[in-house]
């Protein structure tokens, strides 16, 4: 499978649809999806690390992630140059890592299990 295979798939957060995949990368230790969240937050694009994907439904062309809309909306915005920018990648790692309660990051809210 290549990253292009998922381009155009709809992305489903835990509380509903959030947009479509604009770009995907399957490089080892650098897998991610770029999601265009569309008009509900004015076309913002965000990078989702592959680790947030729960499963892919190829029949329905949907990717299910383990984040809700608010968490994705609050993610750092993505720009094409960001995929190799160490500062942006650290920001993404810190943002999503914090949701898993990793050391040095804020803990999960009580309603978000590990």
All domains of the chain in start order, with CATH? 3-78 (2.30.30.240)
- Extract the runs of DSSP E, i.e. beta strands, from 1-114: 10-13, 16-25, 32-36, 45-49, 53-57, 62-65
Total residues found in the chain within this entry: 114
- pTM, full prediction: 0.74
Name, in order, each residue with C-beta under 8 angstroms of 81's C-beta and a sequence gap of 6 or more. Answer: none
| pLDDT tens, position by position, 72-109 | 888 888 877 766 777 887 888 888 875 544 333 344 44
């Amino acid at each position: 499978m290549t990253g292009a295979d998922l381009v155009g798939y709809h992305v489903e957060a835990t509380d509903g649809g959030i947009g479509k995949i604009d770009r995907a990368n399957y490089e080892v230790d650098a897998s991610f999806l770029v999601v265009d969240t569309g008009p509900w937050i004015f076309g913002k694009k965000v990078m989702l690390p592959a680790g947030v994907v729960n499963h892919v439904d190829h029949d329905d062309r949907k990717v299910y992630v383990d984040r809700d809309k608010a968490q994705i909306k609050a993610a750092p915005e993505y720009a094409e140059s960001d995929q190799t920018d160490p500062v942006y990648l650290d920001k993404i790692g810190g943002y999503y890592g914090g949701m898993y309660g990793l050391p040095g990051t804020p803990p999960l809210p009580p309603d978000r299990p590990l």
